[in-house]
A = this chain, B = another copy of it.
Amino acid sequence: MARRARNRRDPGALASAAPPSPFIRRRLPFFDVLGEEEIARLEDQVDWILQEVGIDFRDDPDALRLWKEAGADVRECRVRAPADWIRDLCAKAPREFTQLARNPARSVTIGGANQVFAPIYGAPFVRDLEGGRRYGDLAALEKLVKLAYMHPNLHHTGLVIVEPCDVPVSHRHLDMLYLHMTCSDKPHLGAITEMSRAQDSVDMAEILHGKEVMDANCVIMGNVNTNSPLLVDKVVTQSIRTYCGRGQGIIVVPFILSGAMGPVSTAASVTQAMAEAMICCAYAQLIRPGAPFVLGNFLSSMSLKSGAPTFGMPEPVISNYAIGQMARRAGLPLRCGGSLTASKIEDAQAAYESADSMHSTMLAGANYVLHAAGWLEGGLCTGFEKLVMDADRLGGYQKVLGEGLAVDDESLARDAYGEVRPGGHFLGCAHTMRHYAGAFYEPALSDSENVESWEEGGGKDMRMRAFERWNAMLERYEPPALDEAKVEELQDYVARRKREIPEAWY
């Protein structure tokens, strides 16, 4: 039976363009790791950083002018502000908001008890079993956008799934946005690296969604890092002005390698991340009260042997749990964690680290999870196999979060005990027949056969099965429908901007 079942298997079979749920509505309770006294001490430290230490806003006189006018204590570029005031400003940000997708069935709600998974962001390299490791290019990005679109366990396509290094840096954002807008109808991000690129993102979103829809909804977001420690540069403030000024969303993420960009202490790094992100949220609310904002945290540990960042380790695991609780207290949507690893290939190290990182990300209640699939080499490389391997596991997390433990008459199954005697089995009883088909999450890439069947099937490891799966998925890719006039308008926009913007390769 096992063998027949395997032969019927189609490695692309579970690829679906119509997921049952466009995001996760969490029913599982949250995991609070901090007691009241610990929270009070951490929040007191956040307040101390905001009020006493202060945060630099550099290279952007407009931002400093606004802080001054609003009443902050501004000396040179250091901004200090009463913590109560910053918290009041943060309270203007929505606890949850919807990012509208061009296909409304795929819109995601970010914040509250909702959780949204998106692929890796920003890797310059790409790797697959056939082509090996190489620089990313537009062809690879197109395939990755299609896979993120097709995979039922990814809710959002992010943006830079890999850097298209064959396109001039100054033109990349245009080609990336065009791919996400035409090859997928899931929500995605816009560019942030320069103000004009952020503006192009917003303008192309307006073409795709129309001015009226965009006036009334968040349809695009930017994702931007502070320069930890305690430094916010113009890339952040200009992105906030461009996205939030147009009523769109912004994700601000302190990236802290404890011991380098923050103290060598998880508690201190978490408070620093809270302070950096909260002051950016306050700035966004000064720009536009009610602007959708996601508080980010990307905290990693370090190898004593190499000084390199490490992932899936106990310190970032604990930081996910702690920042989850802190963000809920602050009433702000959270981005943290992901399926992170320092491994170079899709081996056991990659999977152990990714699973511990992602299990804690999931339980922590992260509302928007960038890097949920495809990450290798500390984020330097996107793996095609890794993308579908991670995404396969995300379905399990979706079930844990979305269902929790059902406790009702039907799940208690008393009728089954009327049918089955001690020492018997429940395989054929009525309760089993009613629930068998939906009882278990069945990942596409996990092999549960016995060793003989597995060997007869070629003894393929998960990596090889993942290679077959993403290739099979791409073979059946069909683009989602899009009004031809809009496609042309986007193409014209991209062509015009490429003529206007000089080619630059760095």
Chain A interface residues (CB < 8 Å from chain B): 1-2, 5-6, 9, 28-29, 31-35, 38, 41-42, 45, 48-49, 53-56, 58, 78, 133, 227, 229-231, 258-268, 270-271, 301-310, 312-315, 317-319, 321-322, 342-356, 359-360, 363, 377-378, 380-381, 389, 393, 396-397, 399-400, 403-407, 410-414, 416-417, 420, 422-427, 429, 431-432, 435-437, 439-443, 445-451, 453-455, 459, 461-463
Contact = CB atoms under 8 A, between A and B. Distances in A.
A31 B1 contact: no
Contacts of A346: 348
A412 B159 CA distance: 36
A442 B352 contact: no
Contacts of A45: 412, 414
A259 B427 contact: yes
A304 B1 CA distance: 11
22 contacts: A2-B305, A2-B307, A5-B305, A5-B306, A29-B33, A54-B422, A78-B422, A260-B427, A261-B425, A264-B413, A264-B439, A265-B435, A268-B411, A306-B448, A310-B446, A318-B400, A344-B447, A351-B352, A352-B389, A352-B462, A355-B359, A381-B451
Contacts of A42: 407
Q: Which 6 A-B pairs have the closest CB atoms?
A: A355-B355, A351-B351, A263-B413, A230-B422, A348-B351, A56-B422
Contacts of A423: 56, 58, 227, 229-231
A306 B449 contact: yes
A413 B55 contact: no
Contact of A53 (B227, B417, B439): B417
Given A49-B417, A263-B416, A231 B422 contact: yes
Contacts of A28: 33
A439 B258 contact: yes
Contacts of A399: 314-315
A430 to B, nearest CB: 10
A5 to B, nearest CB: 4
A310 B448 contact: yes
B405 A260 contact: no
B414 A348 contact: no
Candidate in A313, A381, A403 with the most chain B CB atoms within 10 angstroms: A313
Contacts of A450: 308, 377
B351 A447 contact: no
Contacts of A35: 29
Contacts of A41: 407, 412
Given A347-B348, A446-B349, A411 B262 contact: no
